[in-house]
Structure 1
Amino acid sequence: METEDLPQIIPAVKDKGPKIVSFGGGHGLYSALRAFRLLTESLTAVVTVADDGGSSGRLRDELGGLPPGDLRMALAALCDDGNWGKTWRDVIQHRFDSDGELSGHSVGNLLISALWQIHGDHVAGLDWMAKLLRAHGRVLPMSSVPLTIEADVKFPGSFQVVRGQSVLASTLGHVETVRLDPPVPPARHETIEAVAEADVLNLGPGSWYTSVMPHLLVPSLAEAIERSSAVKSLTLNLSSSDGETRDLSLSEHLVSLHRHAPSLELSYVLVDEAATLVEPDLERCAREMFNAKLWARPLHSRRAGQHDTLKLAACYRDMLVDAGIGVDEQW
């Protein structure tokens, strides 16, 4: 049996625990949230809103609101492990398979979109969805408007501008720089408040340019992150993906992050311990670019390319203890 199926091994913390905000999108943020929710009830997910493919893209085009897919994934991660949580997690993740217009849409995307139309506010709709799911935490969008990711991509003999998350995620070129359209999007005030009140801010893991990096390209959100006195961690991916970072080592991930956010300082860079054997420069890069401690632990799941929930939770727990805000009897 996979350790992900045994969340009771790590006992629940007392009271609510430290205030943790985790940034990202898709499956990477899902992994971080499933780990963090074993350590605290004071958990906020801040989610990218630039998805333009699949069900999310279709709803974004038709209804004009935020793409709901990554927000749905974050809500699913916060469902508890009782019958109610498991049932509703399955419901909102279910995709219709038919010959009609509903084919490919997930139930959760439709529910979230309905709540947005009813309440006329993205955060209010997400909060109602969280109540239905009895979610262990809150899900917030990183911006109040849908965004488009644009990148300068180097191909053999040429540079091209690539627009759109779904296109960039599968590019065969080398991504040089990324930016958002609009270039100065507004951040939700609830998101800025969550960052200001946080004890811990975590970036990643996830698709580097389309899930992790965008949070630092929203000026008011980036400023709030940079001026925060919270413990700041970056959870690196287990390895380069097949898409947008196919040609980047993990050290080069740090170089690209520093290039886009030169004022950012981090407390910890978390990495699977196997990566330090392959990339001995990781520790130096973390220290010199971000003034951060490299925190290496075994994080691999037996499922290829995935973080193990309990191993990641133990890594986060040890990091918090090292930072002086450990999980102990005070919670």
Structure 2
Amino acid sequence: MTGPAVVALGGGHGLAASLEALKLVCDDITAVVTVADNGGSSGRLRDEFDVLPPGDLRMALTALCDDTEWGHTWRDVLQHRFRGDGQLGGHALGNLLITALWDLHQDPVIGLDLVGRLLNARGRVLPMAAVPLEITARVQGLDPDDPQALSTLRGQVAVATTKGTVVSITLEPSDPPSAPDTVAAVREADWVILGPGSWFTSVMPHLMVPALRDALHDTSAKRLLTLNLEHSGETAGFTAARQVEALVDHAPRMRLDAVLADPSAVDDEAGLRAAAARLGAELVLAPVAQRGAPGHHDSLRLAAAYRDLFG
């Protein structure tokens, strides 16, 4: 198997779903992962050791593990989460391993590459930025006395779990550095895939890191946006078209070649086609959800959609 050089950007379960599908259609895969998580095990390690939050990076690495007994064994070890109320309680072993490697090598990319070798990973995992980021959001609907009023929320967890409507986000610092390997991967790719994933905390932050945003604008790669299967959490009440429009609002120079959506998640096909066209993109409708679990991507179906798009 060969296939194109693909860079997939995102975080958490959405990026993992994309990577598991990409493993089935190409060999040259690079995951670029958000580094704004401030909750759970990642948040604790970030605060204690002043490191990038390792959790989403760990998930991407395990998604790319070799499909052998060796790869699956080490995937399960890295995903193992300690129980109890002690100091280890709630930590994923992979988060601890990644943090230890960063402490030894002082270079996040070297540490991630070493974990990739342990998993015989079918690709590479790189951070979106070289420093931890904080997401700040302007949110509407949190004041019961004034539903139109805007409130400010700080931190990935607060934004991801808000009951209000996210209007806009910013990053702190506003001009974070990117790892050179991350920028180079985007510039040298054949395809760049954004999404699926939590829209405001996993997908759109990539468009707000200056060097990465410039690389996304300038790359000769074709650009694909994969929409979510459900509109919940950060995008509760959003139409599919509004998801795309939010991206336009935050990155007006961004251009796409295709927007991929499952027909079951499209409430207004004409509106979505128009929103995609604003980015220069063709709308591609394909069944990519699991049968019986409509909120989850099916790896084989998503892989087939990617294969058809890659040509």
Using structure 1 for the length normalisation, give the TM-score.
0.90
The count of corresponding residues between Structure 1 and Structure 2 is 305
2:279 pairs, out of 268, 287, 290, with 290
Is this contact kept in 1: 2:65–2:121, CA < 8 A?
Answer: yes
1:24-60 superposed Cα distances (whole Å, 9 cap, x missing partner): 0000000000011111111000000000000000000
2:164 pairs, out of 152, 173, 184, with 173
Structure 2: how far apart are the matches of 1:211 and 1:99? 29
1:252 pairs, out of 242, 255, 268, with 242
2:260 pairs, out of 270, 273, 279, with 270
1:136-170 superposed Cα distances (whole Å, 9 cap, x missing partner): 00000010000000011112142111000001001
1:155-199 superposed Cα distances (whole Å, 9 cap, x missing partner): 214211100000100101111110100001111100011011100
Structure 2: how far apart are the matches of 1:74 and 1:118? 22
Note if 1:314 corresponds to 2:304: yes
Residue 278 of structure 1: how far off its partner (Å) = 4.5
Residues 304, 296 of structure 1: CA spacing in aligned structure 2 closer, same or farther, 3 A cutoff? closer
Alignment correspondent of 1:3: none
Is this contact kept in 2: 1:39–1:313, CA < 8 A?
Answer: yes
Structure 1: how far apart are the matches of 2:53 and 2:108? 11
Alignment correspondent of 1:299: 288
Is this contact kept in 2: 1:60–1:66, CA < 8 A?
Answer: yes
Aligned-partner residue type, residue 117 of structure 1: D
Residue 222 of structure 1: how far off its partner (Å) = 0.5
CA RMSD between the two structures: 1.0
Residue 277 of structure 1: how far off its partner (Å) = 5.6
Aligned-partner residue type, residue 287 of structure 2: P
Q: Percent identity of the aligned residues? A: 53
Three-state SS of the structure 1 residue aligned to 2:7 is strand
Is this contact kept in 2: 1:25–1:206, CA < 8 A?
Answer: yes
Is this contact kept in 2: 1:53–1:166, CA < 8 A?
Answer: yes
Structure 1 stretches lacking a partner, 5+ long: 1-12, 322-331
Alignment correspondent of 1:76: 62
Structure 2: how far apart are the matches of 1:41 and 1:318? 16
Alignment correspondent of 1:4: none
Residue 285 of structure 1: how far off its partner (Å) = 1.3
Structure 1: how far apart are the matches of 2:281 and 2:276? 5
Residues 286, 157 of structure 1: CA spacing in aligned structure 2 closer, same or farther, 3 A cutoff? closer
1:159 pairs, out of 143, 147, 150, with 150
Alignment correspondent of 2:229: 238
Alignment correspondent of 1:118: 104
Aligned-partner residue type, residue 273 of structure 1: P
Alignment correspondent of 1:127: 113
Residue 279 of structure 1: how far off its partner (Å) = 4.0
Structure 1: how far apart are the matches of 2:39 and 2:269? 34
Alignment correspondent of 1:188: 179
After TM superposition, list the pairs within 5 Å mapping 1:33-112 onto structure 2.
33-112=19-98
Is this contact kept in 2: 1:239–1:250, CA < 8 A?
Answer: no
1:209-230 superposed Cα distances (whole Å, 9 cap, x missing partner): 0000000000111111011111
Using structure 2 for the length normalisation, give the TM-score.
0.96
Residue 276 of structure 1: how far off its partner (Å) = 3.9
Structure 2: how far apart are the matches of 1:272 and 1:50? 28
Three-state SS of the structure 2 residue aligned to 1:311 is helix
Residue 283 of structure 1: how far off its partner (Å) = 1.1
Three-state SS of the structure 2 residue aligned to 1:281 is helix
Is this contact kept in 2: 1:20–1:198, CA < 8 A?
Answer: yes
Structure 1: how far apart are the matches of 2:220 and 2:209? 19
